[in-house]
Amino acid sequence: MMCLSRINPYVSLTLFKHYKQLYVCLNQLKNEAMELIIDNLSKTYSNGIKALQNISLEIPTGMFGLLGPNGAGKSTLMRTIATLQEADSGSIFLGEIDILKQKNELRQVLGYLPQQFGLYPKISAEVLLNHFAVLKGISNKSERQELVKALLQKTNLYEVRKQNLKGYSGGMKQRFGIAQALLNNPKLLIVDEPTAGLDPVERNRFYNVLSELGEHTVVILSTHIVDDVKELCTNMAIINQGQVCLKGNPVQIIEDLKGKVYKKTIEKPELILYKQNYQVISEKLFLGKPTIHVLSDNNPGDGFIGVNADLEDVYFSQIFNNTNLYSN
Ligand code: ADP
């Protein structure tokens, strides 16, 4: 071991500077690697509904998809993480911040786009975003103007920045919501059901905006739309009835279903029979006839053909199937 006191003062000062730099770098790395850790989180509403039952998730930086049907508990979880409601038990940490206890600390680094939010219809996006920036404490005018401009460009609203929000489409409003959620350069961004009600073109534009984020931020995208997760997320979880049924990397999760999904086009009246005899995970109409997907370890024969499983198969196998194909 080298002892600092035995070497000359100039060398020790230089070494000290190097150590200090190293310390700063390590701290930066630590900040970049920030994770959201949810541990055993539970919530029962006063009407007895168990909205969250021992939810545990580790969410790294990047885009995380929380997928589940309506009523699964997604909003309850999002609102709890965003410090808008209390849990009964469990904990949530963002890095060092104990979210359930240090609400103000979390709010300083949080961006939140709720399912529904009101906008002042009679002013332009540029004016309203500038107003929100003032409320967030960005007092330097030129700094604020630069930020507002950058965010309007990032969300593809710069060309329509002078238009009143009343004339904005659903997709434009959602993108404005993202712009305001990014004002404080958040470390945690929560986006709750952002694409519900958007047409495919608007949904795509919204995906493009979201895909630009995420590298140094924990982004949680809560949705019941499988495509949202398929297009954007590097990690995901499926929740149903307040419980996590599956979590992991979407590519790996799909890989686990390989060779287990078969399809067949049938007649409508046969559907009940097939549901009795097979593990039917989805049914879709194709040219007016139902095409069913079933789960099976082996080819069931009977006219079924194997298909490449996709995330929709994974999702439906979890939501509509009681058998526990994957265990956590
Ligand atoms: P999701 O966002 O996945 O649709 P929610 O978190 O909104 O699910 O709801 C989960 C369950 O909790 C649902 O059964 C819902 O009816 C119920 N719920 C949500 N909010 C309340 C509330 N404030 N009081 C009572 N029950 C609620």
What token pair was written down for 54? 């021992």
pLDDT of residue 328: 35
Q: Any residues with Cβ below 6 Å from ligand 1, and which?
A: 45, 47, 49, 51, 68, 70-76
Q: Which of 155, 182, 148 is nearest to 140 (CA)?
A: 148
Question: Exposure of 157 by Cβ count < 10 A (0-12 exposed, 13-18 middle, 19+ buried)?
Answer: buried
What is the architecture, at CATH level 2, of domain 36-249? Answer: 3-Layer(aba) Sandwich (3.40)
Q: Give the model confidence (pLDDT) of 220-276 as tens digits.
A: 999 998 988 988 899 999 999 999 999 999 999 999 899 999 999 999 899 999 999
> How far is residue 4's CA from residue 2's CA, in Å, rounded to a whole number?
6
Ligand 1 atom closest to the Cα of residue 242 is 10
pLDDT of residue 4: 45
CB 111 within 8 A of CB 151: no
CA angle 191, 131, 178 (to 5 degrees): 15
CA angle 133, 114, 98 (to 5 degrees): 80
Write the DSSP symbol of residue 295.
Answer: E
Task: Name which residue leads in pLDDT, 13 or 207.
Answer: 207
Indicate the pTM of the whole model.
Answer: 0.82
Q: Could you tell me the distance, in angstroms and rounded to a whole number, from the CA of residue 310 to the centre of ligand 1?
A: 28
Say yes or no to pLDDT of 30 above 90: no
Measured by CA distance, the residue closest to atom 16 of ligand 1 is 71
Say yes or no to pLDDT of 327 above 60: no
Residue at 172: amino acid letter: M
> How far is residue 11's CA from residue 17's CA, in Å, rounded to a whole number?
10
Q: Where are the domains of the chain?
A: 36-249, 255-319
Identify which of 45, 116, 191, 223 to mutate to test ligand 1's pocket (most ligand atoms within 8 A of the CB).
Answer: 45
Measured by CA distance, the residue closest to atom 13 of ligand 1 is 71
Identify which of 55, 67, 74, 76 to mutate to test ligand 1's pocket (most ligand atoms within 8 A of the CB).
Answer: 76
Q: Could you tell me the distance, in angstroms and rounded to a whole number, from the CA of residue 71 to the centre of ligand 1?
A: 6
Q: How many CB atoms sit inside 10 A of residue 125's CB?
A: 27
Ligand 1 atom closest to the Cα of residue 72 is 3
Q: For residue 156, what is the enclosing H or E element?
A: none
Q: Which of 48-52, 174-178, 180-184 has the highest mean pLDDT?
A: 48-52
Question: Exposure of 314 by Cβ count < 10 A (0-12 exposed, 13-18 middle, 19+ buried)?
Answer: buried
pLDDT of residue 6: 54
- Locate all alpha helices (DSSP H) within 102-239, ordered by sequence: 103-108, 125-135, 141-154, 170-181, 200-211, 226-232
Write the DSSP symbol of residue 158.
Answer: G
> How far is residue 72's CA from residue 51's CA, in Å, rounded to a whole number?
7
pLDDT of residue 130: 95
Q: Which of 252, 261, 267 is nearest to 280 (CA)?
A: 261
Measured by CA distance, the residue closest to atom 10 of ligand 1 is 73
